Amino acid sequence: METYYDPKDLGSFAEIGKDAPELAGKFFDYYNEVFAEGELTEREKALIALAVAHTVQCPYCIDAYTRACLEKGSHLGEMTEALHVVTAIRGGASLVHGVQMRKIAEKLSL
């Protein structure tokens, strides 16, 4: 099936810097440093990245971080729980904006 997002394109990501190699180099250096073992393990960082990938709805990121999570020892239950955490945060963020709606509606209704 043909889709807008071709999974094979993920393998071409490094080429994004072809026309701006200095900026791409800085980004990839930063990216690699962020995902290196630190206060958080690489496994924990991959779970966070997987959850964020769902929030920003990036199919390439979902693909990459699903693979990263599995390679770093996460199992489907942990990955699913991370997805539920981010869903709860995103849902809560939408609901809390209802406070703004209520304030405006109440002000205009008076």
pLDDT of the chain along its 110 residues, tens only? Answer: 677 888 888 888 889 899 999 999 999 999 999 999 999 999 999 999 999 999 999 999 999 999 999 999 999 999 999 999 999 999 999 999 899 999 999 999 87
Residue 11: per-residue pLDDT: 85
Q: Is residue 8 part of a domain?
A: no
Residue 34: per-residue pLDDT: 97
Q: Is residue 38 part of a domain?
A: no
Question: What are the tokens at 41?
Answer: 């393990």
Q: Is residue 68 part of a domain?
A: yes
Q: Is residue 20 part of a domain?
A: no
Q: Is residue 24 part of a domain?
A: no
Residue 64: per-residue pLDDT: 94
Q: Is residue 73 part of a domain?
A: yes
Overall number of domains in the chain: 1
Residues whose CB is less than 8 angstroms from the CB of residue 51 and which lie 6 or more positions away in sequence, other chains included = 82, 83, 85, 86
Residue 74: which domain range? 44-108
Other beta carbons within 10 angstroms of residue 68's beta carbon come to 19
Q: Is residue 64 part of a domain?
A: yes
Which runs of consecutive H residues, i.e. helices, occur in 7-41? 21-34
